Amino acid sequence: MAHAYFTSGIWPLQYKKICDAAGMGKIVDKTLRERYQPVYSEVVEEFAEASMAQALQEETAIQVMVDGEDFAGISIMSDARHCWRKNAMFSDVAFLGDRTHRVIKLITVSQDEEQYSQNHELVGTQQFYEWADENAVNILVHAHDNNKSVNKLVENRAAQGHRCVNGNDTWHATKGIARGMKKITMGPKYKERVTWHPELSDKAGSIKTHVYWAMKNCALDPERLRGYIDNIIKHYKVM
């Protein structure tokens, strides 16, 4: 019961109501906080550290060829999760190995460290790179959700000589497609088939799918990527 309570994220009052409604016993809040929480937190932290150490070991076992030379390095993906949407008290910044998709590092940033929750992801990323440098963990590509501050941080590291390339994840690269297509799928009647066309109104999903395919199959060639995406216009062009 203590494990379910701690990991569910529910409030103490919600936990009490659920137990009362089900007619089952419950651990009183004082007992949870004073007796179980310290022991539980220590055990969970131990398991988490062991899991992340193993994940890092598995990720670093994959050697990446760079410029024709054997170079020990990993690529990562990162994102921040706030404890609530606005003015979060703390945020968890998770770093996943690109190949294994397992968490190799988790950093929690609270308002005690950084007052503004919008900056929690940047602070967590800075702490991650400090940890990576201390442990000789070389980062090749860092993909994230187009956070401008993180973009600048990674680009500055590259300018300082670190072999790190900044990247944004594919979902955020395509999330604006549907919104951008509104300009050519609806409008005033007198401009129908001039600046917008009703037959394009249901094409946003298929276009997004094609862009995903283009990114996956361009072999990291920007010209090929542009060519694949430009084919969308030819496909829907009115002859």
pTM above 0.85, yes or no: no
- The CB density around residue 109, as the number of other CB atoms within 10 Å, is 24
The token duo for 146 is 């187009």
Cα dihedral 171, 172, 176, 178, rounded to 10, equals 10
Condensed to tens digits (0 to 9), the pLDDT of residues 150-183 reads 999 999 999 999 989 999 888 888 888 888 888 8
**In whole angstroms, what is the distance from residue 212 CA to residue 224 CA?**
14
In terms of Cα–Cα distance, which of 50, 213, 69 is closest to 229? 213
Model confidence at 28: pLDDT above 80: no
Model confidence at 228: pLDDT above 70: yes
Condensed to tens digits (0 to 9), the pLDDT of residues 186-205 reads 889 999 888 898 888 888 88
Domains, in order of start, for the chain = 1-61 (no CATH), 65-168 (3.30.420), 169-239 (no CATH)
Beta bridge partners of 110: 90
pLDDT of residue 238: 59
